[in-house]
Chain A
């Protein structure tokens, strides 16, 4: 992973059209601005990881488990 040191007001460009800027640093929190095309997915990493994990869990659901759902009612 590339690690860069930036000051408030400085930024990084990723690819041709994604700009990331540091806006504010307050204790342990950093406020970041992201400028990207509207079709570029910009997500908090923990949300991405949460949804990925849920999708992978769904892949492990067996056909049997779904059959059982209907037996319950």
Chain B
């Protein structure tokens, strides 16, 4: 299922760390859920990262990113930002982690984006994710 909004191309100013050669992505829904989405490189469907809205799992999440950095993607106020965190699933499906240290921020209007490093020492690159937390919000029908 591809929504109209997700077809809009997201342009990374610097790039996702380690994947700097890919600058253009689209945000696609994962079929059957609104929790996980995929950031897929344009014309390179093999380059796709699962992402989540971190606020669903960590309601107090508040990454500190400098004004100068946010201005690089023309963000002047928090309402303009879509925040996404990269999801990693280990070989054992139970090892699910989310990268709270390096959120991807998208300007909802211009679709400019980048991956930033949050200046919060308490945030981890591999924060264990408990899916049940999201389920208790009633967002997951299978619960």
Binding site for B on A (CB under 8 A): 38-39, 41, 43, 47-48, 50-59, 61, 63, 65-73
- B17 and A57 form a contact (CB under 8 A): no
B16 in the interface (beta carbon within 8 A): yes
Which of B19, B66, B89, B135 touches A55 (beta carbons < 8 Å)?
Answer: B19
CA distance A61 to B94 in the complex (A): 13
Residues of B within 8 A of A (CB): 14, 16-19, 30, 32-33, 36, 38, 46-50, 66, 68-69, 71-72, 86-89, 93-94, 96, 99, 101-102, 115, 117, 125-126, 131-132, 135, 140, 142-143
CB-contact partner of A54 in B36, B48, B69, B88, under 8 A: B88
| Residue picked from B30, B88, B115, most chain A C-beta under 10 Å | B88
State whether B16 touches A55 (Cβ < 8 A): yes
Out of B69, B87, B140, name the residue touching A70 (CB < 8 Å). Answer: B140
Say how far B74's CB is from chain A's closest CB, in angstroms. 13
16 A-B pairs with C-beta separation under 8 A: A39-B69, A43-B117, A47-B117, A50-B125, A51-B99, A51-B101, A51-B125, A54-B99, A54-B102, A55-B16, A55-B19, A58-B88, A59-B47, A66-B50, A69-B36, A72-B131
Q: Which residue of B lies closest to A52 (CB)?
A: B18
Please give the distance in Å from A4's CB to the nearest CB on chain B: 26
Which of A50, A53, A56, A59 has the largest number of chain B CB atoms within 10 A?
A: A59
A sample of 14 more A-B contacts (CB under 8 A), given A52-B19, A59-B46, is A43-B117, A47-B117, A51-B102, A51-B115, A54-B125, A55-B19, A56-B19, A58-B86, A61-B88, A61-B89, A63-B38, A70-B32, A70-B131, A72-B94
